[in-house]
Amino acid sequence: MKFFADTAKIEEIRELAATGLLDGVTTNPSLIHKSGRNFLEVVQEIAQLVPGPVSAEVVALDFDEMMREAEILRRIGGNIAIKVPLTPAGLKACKALTGEGTMVNVTLCFSAAQALLAAKAGATFISPFVGRHDDVAFDGMALIADIRLIYDNYDFPTEILVASVRHPMHVVEAARIGADVMTAPPKIIHQLFKHPLTDAGVASFLKDWQATGQKI
């Protein structure tokens, strides 16, 4: 499974990139707003820092404006994935952009039917939002399982990018189902390292080593 960071904060991305575990980055208007920086400047800096896909979202709602904004964004670099909403105009833009060789991340997916449409439109990535499903008492992981089954039935190359990840078990369950990618805030990725027995083991080994009086 590929790990993408869902953030627009450069220092968080740089720290994760240094681990060698980061495969890409996703951004959205809300994350850009939280960063307090210029959208294009942030995306350009991220694209230079991370060699993998960097999702940058259009904000237009009609096809022509989506294509105009996409043209500006894809000039930033070859690793930019244009992020479009799962709307008729968004899927029309997806078809046009992927036909030109541009990566497209279709976002705000909440049903298997929508995911099927995105795959038929040639999406590089489909982003189903599991956390937002859980918020309304729907099993987000059941949606991931349905999309995996449908895509495998027809050998769709579209990658399932699990989004709106709220906790480490979302990551584990997505991996069990066979999702291709997950994107999560850096704090969630860091939580994957944590286990009380690991912490206890490190403390025990360190105590015993200090008792030897030795140095390496």
Write out pLDDT tens, residues 110-160: 999 999 999 999 999 999 999 988 888 889 999 999 999 999 999 999 999
Identify the band that residue 195 occupies on the pLDDT scale cut at 50, 70 and 90.
very high
- Which residue range is the domain that position 106 belongs to? 2-212
**Main-chain dihedrals φ then ψ at residue 178, nearest 5 degrees:** 105, 25
The pLDDT value given to residue 36: 87
Sign (positive or negative) of CA dihedral 86, 92, 98, 103: negative
Q: Tell me which of 2, 9, 34, 83 is the catalytic residue.
A: 83
- Which distant-in-sequence residues (6+ apart) come within 8 Å of 174 by Cβ? 1, 130, 141, 144, 162, 165, 182
Mean per-residue pLDDT of the chain: 96
pLDDT at residue 94 tops 90 = yes
Q: Decide if 83 is catalytic.
A: yes
At residue 138, φ and ψ (nearest 5 deg) are -115, 140
The CATH number of whichever domain residue 40 belongs to comes to 3.20.20.70
Supply 110's token pair: 């909440």
The number of folded domains in the chain is: 1
- pTM (two decimals): 0.95
